[in-house]
Structure 1
Amino acid sequence: MNVKQHDICDCGAACLASVAGHYGLKMPIAKIRQLCHTDKRGTNALGLVEGLEKMGFNAKGVKGNLDALTEIPLPAIAHIILPNQLQHYVVIYKVSKQKITIMDPAFGKTEEHSIDDFSKIWTGILILLEPNQYFEQKDESTSLYTRFWHLVKPHKSIFLQALIGALIYTILGLSTSIYIEKITDYVLIDGNVRLLNLLFVAMVLILLVQVFISVIKSILVLQTGQKIDKYLILGYYKHLLKLPQRFFDTMKVGEIISRVNDAVKIRVFINDVSIQIFVNIFIVIFSFALMFTYYWKLALIIALVISFYALVYWLTNRLNKKVERKMMEESAELESHLVESLNAVKTIKQFGTETFANNKTDNRFSILLKTIYKSVLNSLFSSNSSEFLSRLFTIILLWVGSFYVIEREITPDELLSFYALIGYFTSPVSQLITMNKTIQNALIAADRLFEIMDLEREEITEKIELSAQDIGDIHFKNIFFSYGTPQMFFKILLVLSKKEKQRQLLERVARAKLP
């Protein structure tokens, strides 16, 4: 199972998600981070073993050589060192005499390497695992579309009104095609001034109705958007306050804050884009059906056009899916770095590391700019491709339609009406293609936001209220401290007295940490 890590520290958790999914257990990476004690430096091998045990696996860390790879149970997790000297975890799924198939969470895909190439980066450390009697096949993840529905459900009546208003607005917009047809058929040929005035008044009334519907729809959408913003952002903040301190110790402040921006992107999609998607789909179907009432042969040409638009959308979706997530993660990383560097500006000045801090920011910003450049190129591809197709097939339809007019199969006014309908067809199709970026942004933002919302809260049931008279000597006994996994490093005895303060720190060697 392919799983892509969310940031540089998530490779171990992503590997656990992959092997768990292989056996039928789907679990969010954010929750796995908690189980295997992932911190800002990543996850150690002991943390992976303990995380697997909590997920219902028997697991152990071993060290071996290349000959052992063909004998171990698969899948297994391997510890490697990348060419840039960063430590990394991958999942081994298949081993032969010459090739090895691994799932690399850095790219979120399965790759095949030669045994010789793998031996150059493998440290010899493996995490072997197998399900035990406590393992359960279940899906602890929630579909993003289900989450979107839960956000829409409390406001579904308002959304329905806005959707109906948008559809009526769109249908009234098709009156332009009928207006052109009536003018060319009856007004210009017969010189019917009375009909011309009647059509003029009707079109003005339709325009006023459109403006009224548009204003009401915008107000409804605005009110709903504020409610969704309040639910998402305040709900996210309330959830943060319920999370254990360990979450804040292992998560950068900028990463936490960046989720607020993700909430806004989700609201924009639900509140604005989703309605527009339904409207555009309706316009495409309605205008396509209306074309058959004019001339079915020209309508069949439009049917062929849809396949080309679908190809452009597929390519756009594939490009955006990769680049937009990368851009969002790099943007959050830059924001996190800026927040932390500004909070530590006193330390930076005292140690004279302004140049180092500036270079680090410049490097992150340059990386982000490169990704933004790729994102803009994708947008240019989608917009220009859809525009090219729209213009090309408009030219083709007018060319073919002119032959039908010459052969007396259709009238010139029918061709003009058909031409007006082409605009109502191609415009929403082009919008659907360009909307792909917004859709991908919303899906990625929802994935990032709800991975935090899925974390288990820390419920404090017992609280002690103390007055000034109750406060006396404070004794800390049997307190343990460690990094990452709960492996104990220090045992602390601390006595705070009103009269005197004593601190004894007993250090104990208990470092049994695997790479």
Structure 2
Amino acid sequence: MTSKSQQWQTFKRLLSYLKPYKLLTFFALLLLLMTTIVKNVIPLVASNFIDHFLANLNQTAMLILVGYYGLYLLQTLLQYLGNLLFAKVSFSIVRDIRRDAFANMEKLGMSYFDQTPAGAIVSRITNDTEAISEMFSGILANFVSAIFIFVVTFYTMLGLNHGLTFLVSMLLPCIFILVTLYRKLSEPVISKTRSLLSDINSKLSESIEGISIIQAFRQEERLRQEFSDINQEHMTYANRSMALDSLFLRPAMSLLKLLAYALLMLYFGLSWQESGVTAGLIYAFIQYVNRLFDPLIEVTQNFSTLQTSMVAAGRVFALIDRKDYEPSQSASGPIITQGDIEFKDVSFSYDGKNQILDKVSFRVKKGETIAFVGSTGSGKSSIINVLMRFYDFQSGQVLIDGRDIRTYDQATLRQTIGLVLQDPFLYHGTIKSNIKMYQDLTDEDVKASAKFVDADQFIQKLPKGYDDPVTERGSTFSTGQRQLLAFARTVASQPKILILDEATANIDSETEQTVQKSLEKMRQGRTTIAIAHRLSTIQDANCIYVLNKGKIIEQGSHQELLALEGTYHRMYQLQAGMMDN
């Protein structure tokens, strides 16, 4: 639960987003003030009509009636325009906040995404920003309007009759006590409700992404129960929030308003002859009590939404304020010309406690291919993460063309290194857009890249060819086809360094021949680092490194490692035996 000071800081920060829209906000506030003035003039006109013209409906009386209803129309028009401007400001602010949150998320290091469920991030940038929109579009306008109405109405009431104003004022402390008590009780409930909604999004996202595994292992019932438990708890807290709203909002406020009516009628009944209080004045005061209490009731009703918005805004700002960015690079640096890579005693840990790489050293020159093999958790992928600068290493040196990897700017580094993963990721769009990846490439460049990796054959058979749609993650294509498209994407960027992270692990034997042929062409003239599960795919590597618990325990060519009759020899025999069976 956030403290009052934290909420105040969050609120001030939200208001800072109004700066680019100061003029628009000014006109919106001006319209609200004009609406308030018109609202307060209407009861004065009605009071004057009751006291002076009700018994004598002459031409003047009819003009006053026309003016009376004309004021209502003017009030409606001003209120509509004011709300329209506030909505425009609101949507602009939410767009800006959502843009800032997304921009900062893109800069965060992989450690953040390792620890944070995708559904929780989506909830921050969609649901939470939408809650902020509700605050600006409705609540802020209501709050400002309530302040205008309260000040103008109270001043008008004082000008009409001090005694009646004092009677009504006696109830104001009760209103503030109710608001304070409601805020204290509702804040933890609202915060918990919002947190559970994020949990629902996370569980839903996780279940959708892993639906094939869930069905394969017959875990539908377990996941259904887990989702049901979170959903049930969310409903429980939502009901608690509604119970507080039902008790403290309109019923309690309406009761105070009725009490104000009773005090006014009692005062009129007991002292109208001596005090000179007229029926028109009482009517005006009853209208002003409505003007005074209705905005307060509406504000109090919206208080739960305000609380939700503050909690949501705090969560969004927490994302915007995160500074655990991916490792920093030089703002501008040299160009990578060759692509020679060298690791010198590199040590790395994800959490600063458990060593993943322990003084790893190796070297690979332009045009050479090296491979890393080893059991799961031996550190193979961590070498790639360090080289790609997804994570920073703790000690040692990583050199490219003899220069420290940190001296290259990020754009140069990422453009120079082509990464092909075990599970290629395709984006929603077309074949062409997935190969181009929004680079400045012509259609001929795209087709040439696809032909180079032998992807053009199956692309041409698609109904729309290169303009054929790609669904989420490319689920309509086979694993081999997705991998060939990933190859084409990599080739299109013309990298000097090629990283293959078990690129053939999930491909069937028939498709593997096509993929291997494409890989051979891709590797020509490029520095290549391969992580391999199938030892048969790396036999032609210039050097093979065997990793175990973050250390290189064997290195050499395929034949040299077999002659050692060590770990690599056992791995090769095991795989050969499995293939024979």
Superposition TM-score, scaled by structure 1 size: 0.66
Alignment correspondent of 1:96: none
Aligned residue runs from structure 1 range 451-466, under 5 A: 451-456=318-323, 457-458=325-326, 459-460=328-329, 461=331
Q: Residue 443 in 1 paired to residue 319 in 2?
A: no
| Equivalent of 2:235 in 359, 369, 373 | 369
Q: Deviations over 1:253-305 (max 9, x none)?
A: 11111112212222322343222212102211222222223322221121110
The one-letter amino acid of 1:419's match is I
Distance, in Å, in 1 between the alignment partners of 2:8 and 2:304 is 23
Moved more, 406-415 or 352-361: 406-415
Deviations 1:229-276 (CA, angstroms, capped at 9, x unpaired): 221112211111111111111111111111122122223223432222
1:266 aligns with 2:132: yes
1:292 and 1:186 map into 2 onto residues whose CA distance is 21
Question: Match of 1:420, as an amino acid?
Answer: Q
Gaps in structure 1 of 5+ consecutive residues: 7-107, 109-138, 510-515
2:269 to 373, 397, 402: 402
Q: Secondary structure, in 3 states, of the residue corresponding to 1:399?
A: helix
SS of alignment partner, residue 547 of structure 2:
strand
> How far apart are 1:481 and its partner, in Å?
5.2
The CA deviation at 1:503 is: 4.8
Superposition pairs for residues 78-97 of structure 1, below 5 Å? none
Residue 505 (str. 1) matches residue 547 (str. 2): yes
- Contact 1:186 1:192 survives alignment (8 Å): no
Matches within 5 A, 1:307-346: 307-346=173-212
Q: Quick one: structure 1 residues 408 and 212, their matched pair in 2 at CA, closer, same or farther if it must change by over 3 Å? A: closer
| CA positional deviation for 1:173 | 1.7
CA distance, structure 2, for counterparts of residue 332 and residue 341 of structure 1:
14
- Mapped contact 2:24–2:89 kept (Cα < 8 A): yes
Alignment partners' CA distance in 1, 2:40 and 2:8: 40
Shift of 1:372: 0.4
Contact 2:51/2:280 (CA < 8 Å) preserved in 1?
A: yes
Whether contact under 8 Å (2:46, 2:68) holds in the other structure is no
Q: Is the 8 A contact 2:260 2:289 kept in 1?
A: no
Residues 428-439 of structure 1 correspond to what in structure 2 (within 5 A)? 428-439=295-306
Change over 3 Å in CA distance of 1:389–1:464 after alignment to 2: farther
Aligned partner of 2:50 in structure 1 is 184
Distance, in Å, in 2 between the alignment partners of 1:465 and 1:379 is 63
Match of 1:423 in 2: 290
SS in structure 2 of the partner of residue 174 of structure 1: helix
Residue identity in the other structure for 1:451: A
Matches of 1:293 and 1:447, distance apart in 2: 43
Paired residues, number: 370
Q: Does 1:201 align with 2:201?
A: no
RMSD between aligned alpha carbons? 2.9
**How far is the alpha carbon of 1:435 from its aligned partner?**
2.4
Q: Where in structure 2 are the equivalents of 1:107-506 lying within 5 Å?
A: 143-189=9-55, 191-260=56-125, 261-383=127-249, 384-456=251-323, 457-458=325-326, 459-460=328-329, 461=331, 478=345, 480=347, 482=349, 484-491=351-358, 495=372, 496=529, 499-500=540-541, 502-506=544-548
Asked whether the 8 Å contact 2:90–2:137 carries over to 1, the reply is: yes
1:115-140 deviation digits (Å, cap 9, x = unpaired): xxxxxxxxxxxxxxxxxxxxxxxx99
1:330 Cα deviation (Å)? Answer: 0.8
Q: Distance in 2 between matches of 1:192 and 1:378?
A: 49
The residue type paired with residue 295 of structure 2 is P
Following superposition, the deviation at residue 311 of structure 1 comes to: 0.7
C-alpha deviations, 1:397-426, integer Å up to 9, x for none?
A: 212222121444312222222112111111
Percent identity, aligned pairs only? 18
Deviation at 1:465, TM superposition (A): 7.7
C-alpha change, 1:396 and 1:170, in structure 2 (3 Å) is same
Retained in 2: the 8 A contact 1:320–1:436? Answer: no
Unaligned runs of 5+ in 2: 362-370, 373-528, 531-537, 552-581
Deviation of 1:156 (Å): 1.6
The separation in 1 between residues aligned to 2:248 and 2:153, in whole angstroms, is 22
Are the aligned partners of 1:298 and 1:401 in contact in 2 as well (CA < 8 Å)? no
- Bigger Cα Rg: 2
Letter in 1 for 2:102: Y
Once the 2 structures are TM-superposed, how far is the Cα of residue 486 of structure 1 from its aligned partner?
A: 4.4
